[in-house]
């Protein structure tokens, strides 16, 4: 045993991703006295600019958007009581197929070995007991999420560390409820998805019985909501904010993961990322 606090490291692609998928666990484990480290890989420059300007629109300045989103990220970290924020500051690659994918400084275009080496340095510094990132498809196919998975798994191979490793996911039962809420709150403004999009949505997440780890974060859903709200410039894209805190808590009070590496032997399913470590 040492005096070093147990440490959770979450590796995310963009400002606001920390709140969406892991805001509950970051807040919960911070409240329990653990060290919480957030690594944000990109600058978020492909997000909305002032007035909702999209990349390529007049008035969209990726550098200015990145500065704005850094301030919002810091505010979110305050809400979630994150101990340490590290930013790799790669250029946001945008959605799959966007021209930004091919920009020379984009995260998607960065050699995995280069990103992994930088992340491995942070892992050696913080020595996380638990590492969380996305699955190999970046949950829904976003190039920067996929790249975050790749550099995280490669970085672990460069270190002597043996943390528990988790990939974020969602139970299909929750995805169904989420779809119902989107229709409820989107109303007539929500277009019908084409069959290809609907089929892709149906593949997101996992069957409930394939999820290894269910962490109750209901007591921290208000913090998670406020952390999302801190990313005010992206409010148009953050659907969850439309439902209000109460309904948000009903839907988002459980965070779910797949455990992909473990040396503790903690039995599955589990309800604690630190099962077997305390």
- Per run of 10 residues, the mean pLDDT along the chain (length 278 residues) is 84 96 97 98 94 88 95 98 98 94 94 98 98 94 96 98 97 72 59 59 81 97 95 81 84 94 97 97
Handedness of CA 69, 232, 236, 248 (dihedral sign): positive
pLDDT at 1: 46
Contact 171, 206 (CB under 8 A): yes
- CA gap 120, 101 in Å, rounded: 24
pLDDT at 248: 86
pLDDT at 95: 92
pLDDT at 188: 53
> Does residue 233 sit in helix, strand or coil?
helix
Comparing CA positions, the residue from 234, 232, 197, 241 lying closest to residue 46 is 234
Handedness of CA 254, 255, 257, 261 (dihedral sign): negative
**Residue 191, by phi and psi: left (phi above 0), alpha (psi -120 to 50) or beta?**
beta
């Amino acid at each position: 045993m040492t005096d070093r606090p147990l440490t959770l490291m979450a590796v995310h692609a963009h400002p606001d991703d920390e709140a969406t998928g892991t805001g509950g666990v970051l807040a919960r484990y911070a409240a329990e006295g653990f060290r919480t480290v957030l690594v944000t890989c990109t600058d978020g420059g492909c997000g909305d600019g002032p007035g909702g300007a999209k990349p390529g629109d007049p008035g969209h300045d990726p550098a200015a958007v990145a500065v704005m989103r850094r301030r919002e990220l810091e505010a979110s970290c305050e809400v979630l009581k994150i101990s340490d924020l590290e930013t790799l500051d790669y250029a946001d690659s945008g959605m799959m197929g966007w021209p930004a994918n091919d920009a020379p400084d984009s995260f998607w275009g960065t050699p995995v070995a280069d990103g992994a080496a930088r992340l491995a340095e942070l892992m050696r510094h913080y020595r996380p007991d638990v590492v969380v990132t996305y699955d190999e498809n970046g949950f829904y196919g976003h190039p920067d999420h996929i790249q975050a998975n790749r550099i995280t798994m490669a970085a672990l191979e460069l270190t002597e560390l043996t943390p528990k490793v988790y990939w974020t996911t969602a139970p299909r039962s929750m995805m169904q409820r989420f779809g119902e809420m989107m229709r409820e709150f989107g109303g007539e403004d929500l277009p019908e998805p084409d069959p290809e999009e609907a089929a892709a949505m149906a593949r997101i997440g996992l069957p409930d019985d394939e999820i290894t780890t269910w962490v109750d974060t209901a007591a921290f859903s208000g913090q998670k909501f406020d952390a999302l709200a801190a990313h005010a410039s992206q409010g148009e894209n953050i659907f969850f904010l439309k439902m209000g805190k109460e309904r948000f808590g009903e839907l988002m009070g459980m965070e779910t993961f797949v455990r992909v590496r473990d040396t503790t032997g903690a039995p599955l399913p589990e309800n604690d990322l630190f099962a077997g470590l305390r």
